[in-house]
Amino acid sequence: MKKVMIVSSSTQKMHDLVNVMEQYYKVQGILMTNTNLLSDLNIGRPDCIVVYAEAVARTKLFGVIDLRENEDLLSIPMLLIAEENDANTFKMHVRPAPDATLDRDAAYSDIKLAIDKLCATSEKSYSVLVVDDDPVALKLVKAHLDSIYKVNCVKSGMLALKFLEKQKVDVILLDCFMPEMTGPQTLQLIRNMPGYKRTPVIFLTGNSERDMVMSALSLHPSGFLVKPVKKEELLNKIDEVLDA
């Protein structure tokens, strides 16, 4: 289920939006007057941020400004609901500008449609690295994920390390059994890299690799999936670790 953070200058409007949108998403509403919006966020990383702004001034926007400039949230799309004057004030002080804007009197169906479009953008902003020496397995996993995530594939643990030195990813799918450097050996080296101590890593295993799976448990991976991986199972697991 997609997660939506609703920030509102109006208590009543916040409750109204939450009551309607929680039929479709996991939703949390927070008042704009809270200067540290992230401190109250308890639904995890949202897929979309919705801001309802009415009679706003710069002093009311400090929390939103900090939220929008947070490095970890830059890729999350923002929907602004406001009349023209408030929208102009908002865009003058909040950077980056919202990704979409609706009038204050927009119908709930239009708001949901805008959220759905922005959530699709948010999904695509997550990146996945697939590491497997089997080209058939790589092709299958890439096909499962390509329409939703940014997917990169490499054929060895060493190539994975070189890739991660240059580019950050959100999730790593790592084959357990590979020549030269196994999945567990690769994960040990990944955990020593700056910025990768908590990156979710899911092992891809064969039915005959029980001993290697047992030895990999000490590395605290985010899970194991048996090859050939089913699409629904793979998407559910990635969704789970991104929500954690």
Average per-residue pLDDT for the chain: 89
Q: Which pLDDT does position 103 carry in this prediction?
A: 96
72-95 mean pLDDT: 90
Amino acid type, 93: H
- Single out the residue of 114, 143, 120, 130 nearest to residue 52, CA to CA: 114
* This prediction's pTM: 0.57
- Rounded to whole angstroms, how far apart are CA atoms 20 and 24? 8
pLDDT digits (tens, 9 = 90+) for 209-225: 666 677 777 788 998 89
Per-residue pLDDT at 208 = 60
Kindly state the percentage of the chain with pLDDT values over 70. Answer: 95
- In whole angstroms, what is the distance from residue 231 CA to residue 106 CA? 37
List beta partners, residue 28.
5
Taking 90 as the threshold, does the pLDDT of residue 75 lie above it? Answer: no
Q: What is the 3-state secondary structure (H, E, C) of the chain?
A: CCEEEEEECCHHHHHHHHHHHCCCCEEEEEECCCCCHHHHCCCCCCCEEEEECCCCCHHHHHHHHHHHHCHHHCCCCEEEECCHHHHHHHHHHCCCCCCEEECCCCCHHHHHHHHHHHHHHHHHHCEEEEECCCHHHHHHHHHHHCCCCEEEEECCHHHHHHHHHHCCCCEEEEECCCCCCCHHHHHHHHHCCCCCCCCCEEEEECCCCHHHHHHHHHHCCCEEEECCCCHHHHHHHHHHHHHC
Please tell me which residue, 2 or 122, carries the higher pLDDT value. Answer: 2
- Average pLDDT on 103-131 reads 89
Domains of the chain, earliest start first: 3-124 (3.40.50.2300), 126-243 (3.40.50.2300)
Q: What is residue 40's predicted lDDT score, i.e. its pLDDT?
A: 81
* Each residue's pLDDT tens digit, 4-58: 999 999 999 999 999 999 999 999 999 997 778 888 888 888 889 999 999 888 8
pLDDT score of 210: 66
At residue 69, what are phi and psi to the nearest 5 degrees?
-90, -5
